[in-house]
Amino acid sequence: MAASQASLLLQKQLRDLCKKPVDGFSAGLVDESDVFEWSVSIMGPPDTLYEGGFFNAIMSFPKNYPNSPPTVRFTSEMWHPNVYPDGKVCISILHPPGDDPNGYELATERWSPVHTVESIVLSIISMLSGPNDESPANVDAAKQWRDSREEFRKRVSRCVRKSQEML
């Protein structure tokens, strides 16, 4: 039952995005037969180090969506404090609902069923605009962000160039 409700909700969100595309990204299904696996292309936000890049990601939804958050993993190379080396995105709204066992995040900052594909991707775009180096997923990127901005910029520039070559 839950999977069919999740499927209907995801189909609706896909239709809405097709009818009214949102600036900064595009999204669709990886495979037309599986509404739980989405391909997302994010344009690097203007006036950021990621500007000009085209970054691809996979958004995987659990069968009990929207009660639990999807996972998002960049398939394009990404250098960012809030992206694990394997590409998985680490932002508060993608963490399970409820209290943070580590006491870092408020329950109100974590996953809520009101989030949509659009709000998730817009949060990721916001993350690209302003990294959070206080609780990094990629410690090396966070350290470089804090200690050597020029080296961080060079590393991100390589990611942007690679993303452009993939077009």
User: How far, in Å, CA of 77 to CA of 67, rounded?
Assistant: 30
Q: Which residues of 81-91 are buried (b: 16+ CB within 10 A; e: fewer)?
A: bbbbeebbbbb
Query: Scanning the structure block, which residue is given the tokens 């398939």?
Result: 75
Residue 90 known to be catalytic:
yes
> Catalytic pick from 90, 121, 125, 127?
90
What amino acid occupies position 97? P
User: How far, in Å, CA of 91 to CA of 125, rounded?
Assistant: 11
Which of 61, 59, 60, 58 lies closest to 2, judged by CA? 61
CB 119 within 8 A of CB 112: no
Query: Scanning the structure block, which residue is given the tokens 């958050």?
Result: 69
Residues marked active site are found at 90
